[in-house]
Amino acid sequence: MMPNPSGQNAHRGLSPIIHEASRLVIVSVLAECDVADFNFLLGTTALTRGNLSTHLARLVAAGYVQETKEFVNRKPHTEYRLTATGRAAFKRYREAWRRLTAGGS
């Protein structure tokens, strides 16, 4: 698809679920990992526990992220991975961002 020099509809594909800055960071990290646990995401995103939990819950509810909870040595362990839907949405987001920032060049 050719860039739209007028800028009309250039934002199509920028999912508001992904576009929020914290969720964009989370999805970007998960796109590079097969799976990441809560503590890894906490360290790589620099979000607070509460913010990370809230944003992950939103991504899970949207079907973009799969959450797996288990106990390891009697301690809770939660892992996250992008779903196929999440990967496709992130791909569309990146393509839309490239169109939007192409500046008609």
Q: What is the pLDDT of residues 7-53, one digit of tens each?
A: 444 466 678 889 899 999 999 999 999 899 999 999 999 999 999 99
At residue 20, the 3 state secondary structure works out as coil
Q: Give CA–CA dist 2/5, Å, rounded.
A: 9
Is the pLDDT reported for residue 89 higher than 70? Answer: yes
Q: Which residues pair with 80 in a beta bridge?
A: 36, 67
What ranges in 1-105 are assigned the alpha helix state H?
16-19, 21-32, 38-45, 49-61, 84-101
Instruction: Tell me what percent of the residues of the chain surpass a pLDDT of 70.
Output: 85
Count of beta carbons in the 10 Å neighbourhood of residue 89: 21
In CATH, the number for domain 16-99 is 1.10.10.10
Give 76-88 as a DSSP string.
Answer: EEEEEEE-HHHHH
| This prediction's pTM | 0.82
